[in-house]
A and B are shown apart, each in its own frame.
Chain A
Amino acid sequence: QKEVEQDPGPLSVPEGAIVSLNCTYSNSAFQYFMWYRQYSRKGPELLMYTYSSGNKEDGRFTAQVDKSSKYISLFIRDSQPSDSATYLCAMISSGAGSYQLTFGKGTKLSVIP
């Protein structure tokens, strides 16, 4: 079983739709959770960062973490064509002398005008 699973898509939605992107994980030691957006031929850009269960909102984006189910989500409201990109989830576990960061493989999103 892979440590982080993310549906690669592609996912196509009409402009204005609510988008839900998800990742599941198996390592209960993951403490920090991130979502990155990556446009074609560019480096990933950090969108959301959270370390606790629950919701975190930033504009049209909401990150949701459910540690009991080992499941994280990113919701995009009122999606725009400029949201078309690949979205990567990432998770960190760290402690004394150890550090592990694992990325999902990314979901490609297209928002159709």
Chain B
Amino acid sequence: DVKVTQSSRYLVKRTGEKVFLECVQDMDHENMFWYRQDPGLGLRLIYFSYDVKMKEKGDIPEGYSVSREKKERFSLILESASTNQTSMYLCASSPGTGGQQYFGPGTRLTVT
């Protein structure tokens, strides 16, 4: 079974802090994704990566950056957290451009 894990289930940070969210997949998938999910807005793509050290902006990249140094690991970074970044963050991976995405359990981030 595909397994996608995220470093934290719940996280509380203060405004202005630098926040790292980590995602690891164990199926050698080429593609990895970061989404945020908010009530009424659905899933919105922040960034994705189709190879090591490669990244592409999604629909809402502002305020975020990513890092993919190893194939199995994709990190989302909030350089200076703000309250409007309070959300559920979901990582996913997929085996190629047409492949279905498999999601991690999510990290619920609260910025106070």
Chain A positions near chain B (C-beta within 8 angstroms): 31-32, 34, 36, 41-46, 49, 51, 88, 90, 92, 94, 99, 101, 103-106
Contact = CB atoms under 8 A, between A and B. Distances in A.
B46 to A, nearest CB: 13
B104 A43 contact: yes
Contacts, number: 48
Interface of B: 4, 31, 33, 40-43, 45, 48, 50, 88, 90, 97-98, 100-106, 108
B45 A101 contact: yes
A105 B40 contact: yes
Given A88-B43, A104-B42, A42 B101 contact: no
Contacts of A99: 31, 48, 50, 97
A29 B96 CA distance: 17
> Which DSSP category, helix, strand, loop or mixed, fits chain B's interface?
strand
Nearest to B42: A105
Contact of A43 (B45, B50, B90, B100): B90
A41 B101 CA distance: 18
Contacts of B102: 46
Contacts of A106: 42
A50 B103 CA distance: 18
A49 B42 contact: no
B47 to A, nearest CB: 13
A92 B98 contact: yes
Contacts of B103: 36, 43-46
A39 B98 CA distance: 25
Tell me which of A41, A44, A49, A101 has the highest count of chain B C-beta atoms within 10 A of its own C-beta.
Answer: A101
A56 to B, nearest CB: 13
B108 A103 contact: no
B98 A31 contact: yes
Nearest to B97: A94
Given A103-B42, A103-B43, A104-B42, A44 B90 contact: yes
Contacts of B42: 88, 103-106
A51 B4 CA distance: 24
